[in-house]
């Protein structure tokens, strides 16, 4: 163990002797797992306290925790509690047995909620919660379940103890010491400042808050204690849009032009528009019908039709030549699908983890990548599923294909490589599509991170955690004029060395421009974003040119609406065409077109299929009246239409899983936060889905 890890062990033992619950908040990559294992090992070896201990972890780190305990403290007997309903039947008697064959039970948050009755029946010595910022909402299902457990000592592990506001800090402290931090309103009143508070008042408040935290929290940064760790260098690489992306970006703006030229749009509508624009910046093939299906699906068009892919192709070829190994992160699973196709096109060996990857498969992928002399070049990871608690220090390069709304998620991702055991400088490349909403998202994220100077280094003290309508409007308008005035391909055919040099310069310029010392402290303490440059593109302030922008959009609306195709019915086929097709193929086509109707989409599948069968039978019956071209009665047709409209055909299984995870994080009614976490749904869509989900069950 390193000296600072021994210091952490001594601090944890001191807390144990005093009977104080604690937050171990060392920066990501400093070894909180080892520090915790050493505590439990010391308790068994020297104090004869062998448990039972309960450790709750993300599914992605379950195998790593088991392996680390077996590696560093094999005397601790581990029970890994995870599996299907049938597999858990065999595990349950082991949890209840009087003469325990284990000291530490490790399971996931999800298993803990599912088997809450089982775990409530045990008197636990230590409850250890990894990635404990999951408890920042005291009304989440996980938090409510854990508060009913019989626990002697509580230890929270998190590299990001605060991600949003003062309330989240109180929620963690309330979970640790409910008898001390019982009143959220009192705590809020103690540390809430008026808008016109002076800098001295703010500094005094922060000092008071530090004094409150000091007895319960230990936090060290890599820069302070781990001097042998190589540096981490971030470079923002800007790239233009392809012609296809510009046209698509323009169409998205045109379809919602009212949102851009006035301020009456609902917040949920603006959030959805932002999501659509982000998808354009990510890859045009994220939209149905854009890809030319006549082309080879593994052809060069996958790369050339997207600015980021062209840049990524140049960058990865250079990294491959240098012998580097790469962690490639994206928020969107469909982007990972495209990146997987790209790896196959270029013949790059890769691994992949996203939110749908099973626990066993995760471990196999991680072990395959980390194996000695591994030939895997790229690890494709979703930012949130692959950014937590995984050690991938065998890679020396991190590429963020897109940026998370919460910059802490990106930091978590970066620190999969920048951690103890890393022997090389870690280069982080953040890809940003120039002249789009992505520029503003990155700027906002960087401002949020500057609040590290508050409360605790990775925390922030503010009451504003979500985007305001005004911020979203500015993001959407940013670069819109340029898109409408230019249709030329924005991808520059530059050498990768020149691109990297330009990226370094622009990253430094951005840092210098953003963090002018004189005004930044007051601005960040209040978390007020200076909008003075948000509407500026290439030196032109487009805030004053809104009328011009409105006219440009209206012109486009006129052109698009005059050439827009008429919508066609999607339920019934033309009977004559159907009979002609039948004569050709000797096969009668289904008269009612039904969606897939997966269980998580909550269709009334049985009744819908009954109505479809009635329509099909009538259509194929020669004695049935075909002149009206109606194969159901008016009541049956109305029922079928209603039932089809009640299903959630645009919800994929990954969306449902993301919803469940976010609902546990933020609470089932935190629709705005859940929508941001899912990344593809509006708050209104989440609310509609949630109503059915909790009535009919997952």
Matching residue, tokens 């599996």? 83
Query: Residue 586, SS3?
Result: coil
Choose one of 205, 224, 243: the last residue of a domain: 224
> Is pLDDT of 429 > 50?
yes
Enter the pTM of the model.
0.59
Domain tally for the chain? 4
pLDDT band at 315 (very low <50, low <70, confident <90, very high): very high
pLDDT band at 179 (very low <50, low <70, confident <90, very high): confident
Q: Is the dihedral of CA 427, 430, 431, 434 positive or negative?
A: negative
> Is pLDDT of 619 > 90?
no
User: Which of these ranges, 222-231, 534-543, 635-644, has the smallest mean pLDDT?
Assistant: 534-543
Residue 20: CATH number of its domain: 3.40.50.10810
- Rounded distance between C-alpha atoms, residue 162 and residue 173, angstroms: 11
Residues 556 and 622 in one domain: no
- Distance between terminal CA atoms of the chain? 45
What are 57's strand-pairing partners? 108
Q: What is the pLDDT of residue 202?
A: 62
Q: What is the rounded average pLDDT of the residues 257-280?
A: 73
In a domain, 159, yes or no: yes
pLDDT above 90 coverage of the chain, percent: 27
Residues 623 and 679 in one domain: no
Task: Decide: 82 and 57 in contact? Cβ < 8 Å.
Answer: no
What are 536's strand-pairing partners? 541
How do beta strands 540-541 and 536-537 pair? antiparallel
Q: Give the model confidence (pLDDT) of 101-140 as tens digits.
A: 999 999 999 899 999 999 999 999 999 999 888 887 888 8
Q: Is the dihedral of CA 543, 547, 549, 553 positive or negative?
A: positive
Q: Give the model confidence (pLDDT) of 234-264 as tens digits.
A: 888 988 889 898 888 888 877 766 655 555 6
Q: What is the rounded average pLDDT of the residues 409-424?
A: 83
Distances in whole angstroms, Cα of residue 496 to Cα of each of 35, 233, 327, 444, 503: 42, 17, 19, 27, 10
Residues 373 and 463 in one domain: yes
Residues 634 and 500 in one domain: no
Residues 148 and 246 in one domain: no
| Residue 347 zone, left/alpha/beta (φ > 0; ψ -120 to 50; rest) | left
- Rounded distance between C-alpha atoms, residue 276 and residue 222, angstroms: 38
Residues 29 and 152 in one domain: yes
User: Which of these ranges, 22-26, 28-32, 301-305, 568-572, has the smallest mean pLDDT?
Assistant: 568-572
User: Which of these ranges, 15-29, 188-202, 243-257, has the smallest mean pLDDT?
Assistant: 188-202
Which residues contact residue 234 at a Cβ distance below 8 angstroms, ignoring those fewer than 6 apart? 414, 428, 429, 430, 507
Q: Which range, 55-59, 157-161, 407-411, 648-652, has the best average confidence (pLDDT)?
A: 55-59
Q: What is the pLDDT of residue 393?
A: 86
Matching residue, tokens 């209206």? 554
In a domain, 568, yes or no: no
Cβ-count burial of 137 within 10 angstroms (0-12 exposed, 13-18 middle, 19+ buried)? Answer: buried
> Is pLDDT of 330 > 60?
yes
Q: What is the rounded average pLDDT of the residues 564-593?
A: 42
pLDDT band at 45 (very low <50, low <70, confident <90, very high): very high
Q: What is the pLDDT of residue 452?
A: 42
Q: Which range, 62-66, 75-79, 218-222, 287-291, has the best average confidence (pLDDT)?
A: 75-79
How do beta strands 326-330 and 350-353 pair? unpaired
Q: What is the pLDDT of residue 559?
A: 45
In a domain, 570, yes or no: no
Question: Would you state the torsion angle of the CA atoms of residues 127, 133, 136, 137, taken in this order, to the nearest 10 degrees?
Answer: -80
- Rounded distance between C-alpha atoms, residue 175 and residue 360, angstroms: 31
Residues 537 and 609 in one domain: no
Q: What is the rounded average pLDDT of the residues 502-508?
A: 73
Q: What is the pLDDT of residue 552?
A: 52
Residues 448 and 376 in one domain: yes
pLDDT, mean over the chain: 77
Residues 48 and 32 in one domain: yes
Q: What is the pLDDT of residue 584?
A: 36
More confident residue, 156 or 486: 156
DSSP E strands, 506-584: 536-537, 540-541
Closest of 445, 448, 452, 449 to residue 430, by C-alpha: 445
Q: What is the rounded average pLDDT of the residues 620-629?
A: 74
Q: What is the rounded average pLDDT of the residues 470-485?
A: 62
Q: What is the pLDDT of residue 141?
A: 87
In a domain, 390, yes or no: yes
pLDDT above 70 coverage of the chain, percent: 74
Q: What is the pLDDT of residue 302?
A: 93
In a domain, 569, yes or no: no
Residue 537: CATH number of its domain: 3.40.50.300
Residues 288 and 375 in one domain: yes
Query: Residue 227, SS3?
Result: coil
Task: Decide: 155 and 129 in contact? Cβ < 8 Å.
Answer: yes
Q: What is the rounded average pLDDT of the residues 686-697?
A: 81
In a domain, 590, yes or no: yes
Residue 663 tokens read as: 């609902």
Q: What is the pLDDT of residue 506?
A: 74
In a domain, 506, yes or no: yes
- Rounded distance between C-alpha atoms, residue 525 and residue 447, angstroms: 11
Which residues contact residue 377 at a Cβ distance below 8 angstroms, ignoring those fewer than 6 apart? 320, 325, 326, 348, 349, 350
Residues 284 and 319 in one domain: yes
Residue 675: CATH number of its domain: 1.10.10.60
In a domain, 566, yes or no: no
Q: Which domain holds residue 521?
A: 232-561
Q: Which range, 28-32, 120-124, 284-288, 610-614, has the best average confidence (pLDDT)?
A: 120-124
> Is pLDDT of 386 > 80?
no
Q: What is the pLDDT of residue 543?
A: 42
Choose one of 178, 198, 224: the last residue of a domain: 224
- Rounded distance between C-alpha atoms, residue 480 and residue 250, angstroms: 8
Residues 56 and 28 in one domain: yes
């Amino acid at each position: 163990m390193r000296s600072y890890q021994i210091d952490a062990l001594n601090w944890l033992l001191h807390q144990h002797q005093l009977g104080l619950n604690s937050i171990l908040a060392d920066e990501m990559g400093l070894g909180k797992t080892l520090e915790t294992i050493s505590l439990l090992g010391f308790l068994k070896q020297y104090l004869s306290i062998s448990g039972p201990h309960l450790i709750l972890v993300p599914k992605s780190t379950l195998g790593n925790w088991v392996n680390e305990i077996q590696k560093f403290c094999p005397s601790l007997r581990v029970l890994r509690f995870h599996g299907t309903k049938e597999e858990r039947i065999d595990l349950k008697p082991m949890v209840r047995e009087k003469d325990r064959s284990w000291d530490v039970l490790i399971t996931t948050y999800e298993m803990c909620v599912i088997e809450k009755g089982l775990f409530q029946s045990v008197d636990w010595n230590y409850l250890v919660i990894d990635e404990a910022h999951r408890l920042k909402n005291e009304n989440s299902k996980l938090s409510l379940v854990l508060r009913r457990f019989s626990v002697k000592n509580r230890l929270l592990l998190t590299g990001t103890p605060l991600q949003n506001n003062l309330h989240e800090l109180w929620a963690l402290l309330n979970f640790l010491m409910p008898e001390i931090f019982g009143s959220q309103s009192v705590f809020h009143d103690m540390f809430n400042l008026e808008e016109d508070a002076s800098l001295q008042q703010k500094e005094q408040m922060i000092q008071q808050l530090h004094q409150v935290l000091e007895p319960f929290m230990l936090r060290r940064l890599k820069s302070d204690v781990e001097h042998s760790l190589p540096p981490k260098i971030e470079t923002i690489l800007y790239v233009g849009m392809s012609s296809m992306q510009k046209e698509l970006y323009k169409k998205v703006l045109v379809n919602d032009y009212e949102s851009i030229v006035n301020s009456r749009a609902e917040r949920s509508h603006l959030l959805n528009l932002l999501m659509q624009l982000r998808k354009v910046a990510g890859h045009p093939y994220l939209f149905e019908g854009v890809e030319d299906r006549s082309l080879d699906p593994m052809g060069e068009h996958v790369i050339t039709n997207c600015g980021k892919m062209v840049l990524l192709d140049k960058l990865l070829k250079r990294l491959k030549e240098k012998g580097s190994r790469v962690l490639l992160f994206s928020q969107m699973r469909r982007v990972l699908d495209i990146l997987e196709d790209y790896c196959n096109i270029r013949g790059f060996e890769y691994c992949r983890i996203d939110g749908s990857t099973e626990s066993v498969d995760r471990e196999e992928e991680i072990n395959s990548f980390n194996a000695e002399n591994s030939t895997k070049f790229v690890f494709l990871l979703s930012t949130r599923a692959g950014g937590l608690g995984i050690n991938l220090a065998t890679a020396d390069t991190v590429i963020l294909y897109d940026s998370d709304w919460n910059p802490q998620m990106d930091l978590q991702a970066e620190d999969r490589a920048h951690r103890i055991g890393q022997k090389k400088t870690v280069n982080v490349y953040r890809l940003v599509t120039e002249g789009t909403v992505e520029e503003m998202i990155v700027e906002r994220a960087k401002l949020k991170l500057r609040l590290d100077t508050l409360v605790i280094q990775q925390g922030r003290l503010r009451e504003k955690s979500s985007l305001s309508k005004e911020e979203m409007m500015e993001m959407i308008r940013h670069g819109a004029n340029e898109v409408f005035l230019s249709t030329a391909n924005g991808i520059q055919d530059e050498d990768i060395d020149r691109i990297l040099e330009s990226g370094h310069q622009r990253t430094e310029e951005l840092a210098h421009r953003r963090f002018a010392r004189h005004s930044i402290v007051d601005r960040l303490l209040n978390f007020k974003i200076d909008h003075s440059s948000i509407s500026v593109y290439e030196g032109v302030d487009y805030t004053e040119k809104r009328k011009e922008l409105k006219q440009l959009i209206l012109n486009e609306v006129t052109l698009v609406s005059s050439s827009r195709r008429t919508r066609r019915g999607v339920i019934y086929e033309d009977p004559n065409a159907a009979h002609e097709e039948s004569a050709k193929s000797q096969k009668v086509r289904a008269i009612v077109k039904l969606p897939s109707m997966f269980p998580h989409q909550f269709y009334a599948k049985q009744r819908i299929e009954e109505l479809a069968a009635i329509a099909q039978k009538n259509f194929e019956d020669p004695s049935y009246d075909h002149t009206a071209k109606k194969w159901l009665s008016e009541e049956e047709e109305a029922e079928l239409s209603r039932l089809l409209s009640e299903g959630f055909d645009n919800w994929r299984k990954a969306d449902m899983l993301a919803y469940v995870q976010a609902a546990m994080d933020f609470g089932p009614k935190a629709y705005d936060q859940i929508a941001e976490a899912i990344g593809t749904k509006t708050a209104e869509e989440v609310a509609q889905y949630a109503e059915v989900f909790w009535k009919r069950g997952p």
